[in-house]
Amino acid sequence: MQQILAIITPTFFAIALGYLFGRLSRSSAAVLIDAAMYIAVPCLTITSMLSGPIVIREAEELWASCLLIMAGTFLVARFVFAFGRTKHSALYLPIVFGNLLNIPFPIIYMVFGAKGLANAALFYMPSGLLIYSLGIYIAAGQKGLRQGLWEAVRTPLLYAAVLGLVLNLAGVTLPALMMNSLKFLGQAAIPLLLLVLGMNISRIRPSHLPLTLVASVLRMGGGFAFGLLAVWLLGLTGIPRAVVLFEAAVPSAVFAAIAAVKYENEAEVVSSVVLVTTLASVVVIPALLYYLT
């Protein structure tokens, strides 16, 4: 347990600093987001993808796991909302789409090293494509598919993951000077992601508590249940299994709240789910790491 606390304490300390900075300052997180998403995270992704050999079958299993978890949580949420005779649209976003970057990337890297991070980057790919296409389509009331696809095309992380995968499968070795430069820039990704997460949740206020709690349980509890189903169906073991189960139970994606606010679609409750699941992760993540390690 001391080892787990030593791993997660820096993570939540950085989030707390970002939260305090967001509360005390009027500074926008936009510059940090761009620096992380357009420079640091792609560099970290490429170097992680090239850290060891990748078997295409393992990549396909990670992609299948991600899609199964998203589809499963969507169907369960649909059933729960139908049973309760309530209609929602944007509320599916924080249930289906987990925060697969800000929290899991730093922790997986610290626990499982570059190999674990490479698996996490592969796992993220289907979600990254769908959240910037189908996610915006849902948030915009089924009117924003074109804009969503454009956002997906503009996401450097996806290109970095694809490039790293192609280079790895082709057996290409980058020059040492280039790899060292990419690693140097990639080191900035983890603190940037955590500070951005803290700044983003500092602007969220909880509301609609009963509905928020239901959606939060569906995200983290339902996600973990379908993660167990995925690793069982696909026979995953070792690091891929640990990565899938960890990613399955992560909090809701901050992007869900951003999209809901932008398109004025259930913004308060969606933002509340993001906040509650992020706070719950303070307890859930140590327990999950204890189980996985």
Least confident piece of the model among 67-76, 178-187, 223-232: 178-187
Residue 1's DSSP bridge partners are none
Rounded Cα distance between 255 and 238, Å, is 30
Residue 252 predicted with pLDDT over 90: yes
pLDDT band at 151 (very low <50, low <70, confident <90, very high): low
pLDDT digits (tens, 9 = 90+) for 25-80: 878 777 887 888 789 888 988 888 887 787 788 899 999 999 999 999 999 999 99
Give the dihedral of Cα atoms 220, 225, 231, 233; nearest 10 deg: -140
Residue 104 predicted with pLDDT over 80: yes
pLDDT band at 177 (very low <50, low <70, confident <90, very high): very high
- Region 88-112: what's the mean pLDDT? 88
Rounded Cα distance between 16 and 13, Å, is 5
pLDDT digits (tens, 9 = 90+) for 80-96: 988 877 777 788 999 99
- Helix (H/G/I), strand (E/B), else coil: 109: helix
Burial class (CB in 10 A: 0-12, 13-18, 19+), 139: buried
Least confident piece of the model among 131-135, 150-154, 164-168, 241-245: 150-154
Q: Which of 4-13, 48-57, 69-78, 209-218 has the highest mean pLDDT?
A: 69-78
What the block records as the tokens of 249 is 């139970």
- For residue 75, give the DSSP letter: H
Q: pTM to 2 decimals? A: 0.83
Q: Say if residues 242 and 75 touch (Cβ distance below 8 Å).
A: no
Residue 1 predicted with pLDDT over 70: no
Instruction: Sketch out the chain's domains with CATH numbers.
Output: 2-292 (1.20.1530.20)
